[in-house]
């Protein structure tokens, strides 16, 4: 860090806890720290905003360097704010100053939620030591500087692409999606690892298993997202090619159905049917798997428990017609024309997780096969996705008609 003095804003309504923190810092190189103490969230927001209002001359002024806060130690329970709302409100009002949450409760779930809302770290008050406090402050400042640089980089990117509106929108959505979708699993991984590293001897086997499970789930989520982004990158650069091979479509669909039924258990019934001519085809099995894995996942994800998902295959006139039908929440009419746009999600998905990449990837896979895709949906009634692919040659796509 370039600055010799670290300026801390302590937001704490307990005089005893505030005095304790001052005493801890006073024993750790007292000339290195300068603390400002307020007792209410509203005071913290006001003083933080005042200190972050900058003009070009401010950057050179001694007074600005003396009063700009490097980190905020924020108690979750204040006279004018309670719990996670404290973090949300402060981060909304002051997004550029890193926050370390102070809590009197040894509640890892609450701490993880606070970090998801934008806190860089958390400290349990009765477990604070000099080492933990210094480590937390320094790490929060470092991560805050990185995030600020990322935001500045994002802004520069948007400005540079302002003349290319379509590309600018794509990049803007990409940065927003990545910062949201990557931040949560990476924060989960980091927090779980730190808990295992610093509290391993105090954890039960069950608790350790829970942390390892969180890490594995977050890693899988990150890898899946990276695979989707890399696929889109290849197709945008026209580097994704079609590698057709002989394939029995009936067997392919049956095996895919069995796999999804095994994962769904008794929550959903996936019913596959085939009719028509011989199901031999020349298609790219990897891309085909990508198409129907995404479509079946969506059908299951947006359908109520105990409902049926129908998967139909018809081979006729050198064309394979696939249909996936569900009785889920459906897609609002206003959203249907945007479904294949990258990062677009329907307005009624609510809290169901997703990146808005699945259908964009499906469309590109279908296009590579020279096929067509159509989605018919009514809100609260269900959705039918129809995919038509030539059995043996992309040239047949010219004859595809819905």
Instruction: State the CATH architecture for 161-240.
Output: Orthogonal Bundle (1.10)
List Cβ neighbours of 18 (8 Å cut-off, separation of 6 or more).
10, 12, 37
Beta strand spans in 235-290 (E): 245-248, 268-276, 280-283
Nearest of 121, 137, 7, 10 to residue 63 by alpha carbon: 7
**282 SS3 class:** strand
Name the packing angle between helices 165-199 and 130-160 (round to 10°): 170
What backbone torsions phi and psi does residue 331 show, to the nearest 5 degrees?
-120, 125
Instruction: State the CATH architecture for 245-399.
Output: 2-Layer Sandwich (3.30)
In this prediction, residue 221 carries a pLDDT of 67
- What does the radius of gyration of the chain's CA atoms come to, in whole angstroms? 27
The angle formed by the CA atoms of residues 13, 18 and 23, to the nearest 5 degrees, is: 175
Nearest of 223, 152, 230 to residue 182 by alpha carbon: 223
Nearest of 158, 168, 166, 114 to residue 136 by alpha carbon: 114
List Cβ neighbours of 58 (8 Å cut-off, separation of 6 or more).
64
Residue count of the chain: 402
Which CATH number describes the domain made up of 1-158?
Answer: 3.40.50.2300
In this prediction, residue 234 carries a pLDDT of 64
Which regions of the chain carry the CATH code 3.30.565.10? 245-399
In this prediction, residue 176 carries a pLDDT of 60
- Say if CB 79 and CB 11 are below 8 A apart: no
In this prediction, residue 177 carries a pLDDT of 57
Q: In what order do the strands lie in the sheet with 382-390?
A: 268-276, 307-316, 319-326, 382-390, 372-378
Which regions of the chain carry the CATH code 1.10.287.130? 161-240
The parts of the chain modelled with pLDDT lower than 50 are 1-2, 54-67, 394-402
Q: In what order do the strands lie in the sheet with 33-38?
A: 33-38, 6-11, 71-75, 99-103, 121-124
In this prediction, residue 137 carries a pLDDT of 87
Which regions of the chain carry the CATH code 3.40.50.2300? 1-158
Query: For 117-120, which contacts have Cβ atoms below 8 Å and span 24 or more sequence positions?
Result: 117/84, 117/87, 117/88, 117/91, 118/87, 118/88, 118/91, 119/74, 119/87, 119/91, 120/144
């Amino acid at each position: 860090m370039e600055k010799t003095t670290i300026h801390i804003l302590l937001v704490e309504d307990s005089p005893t806890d505030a005095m304790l923190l001052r005493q801890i810092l006073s024993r750790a190189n007292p000339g290195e720290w300068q603390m400002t103490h307020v007792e209410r969230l509203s005071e913290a927001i006001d003083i933080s905003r005042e200190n972050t209002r900058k003009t070009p001359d401010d950057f050179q002024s001694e007074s600005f360097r003396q009063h700009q806060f490097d980190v905020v130690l924020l108690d979750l329970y204040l006279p004018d704010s309670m719990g996670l709302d404290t973090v949300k409100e402060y981060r909304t009002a002051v997004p550029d100053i890193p926050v370390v949450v102070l809590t009197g409760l040894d509640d890892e779930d609450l701490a993880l939620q606070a970090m998801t809302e934008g806190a860089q770290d958390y400290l349990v008050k009765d477990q604070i030591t000099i080492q933990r406090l210094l480590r937390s402050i320094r790490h929060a400042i470092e991560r805050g500087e990185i995030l600020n640089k990322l935001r500045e980089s994002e802004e520069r990117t948007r400005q540079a692409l302002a003349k290319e509106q379509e590309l600018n929108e794509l990049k803007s959505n990409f940065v927003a999606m990545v910062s949201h979708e990557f931040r949560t699993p990476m924060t989960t991984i980091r927090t779980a690892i730190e808990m295992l590293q610093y509290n391993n001897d105090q954890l039960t086997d069950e608790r350790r298993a829970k942390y390892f499970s969180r890490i594995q789930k977050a890693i899988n989520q990150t890898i899946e997202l990276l695979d989707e982004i890399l696929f889109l990158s290849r197709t945008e650069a026209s580097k994704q090619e079609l590698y057709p091979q002989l394939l029995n479509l009936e067997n392919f669909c049956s095996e895919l159905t069995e796999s999804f039924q095994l994962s769904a258990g008794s929550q959903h019934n996936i019913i596959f049917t085939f009719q028509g001519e011989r199901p031999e085809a020349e298609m790219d099995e990897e891309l085909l798997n990508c198409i129907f894995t995404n479509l079946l996942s969506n059908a299951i994800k947006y359908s109520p428990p105990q409902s049926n998902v129908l998967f139909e295959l018809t081979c006729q006139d050198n064309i394979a017609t696939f249909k996936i039908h569900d009785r889920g929440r459906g897609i609002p009419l206003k959203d249907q024309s945007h479904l294949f746009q990258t990062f677009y999600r329907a307005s009624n998905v609510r809290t169901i997780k997703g990146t808005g990449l699945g259908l964009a990837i499906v469309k590109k896979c279908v296009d590579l096969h020279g096929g067509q895709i159509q989605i018919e949906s009514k809100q609260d009634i269900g959705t039918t996705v129809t995919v038509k692919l030539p059995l043996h040659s992309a040239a047949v796509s010219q004859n595809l008609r819905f």
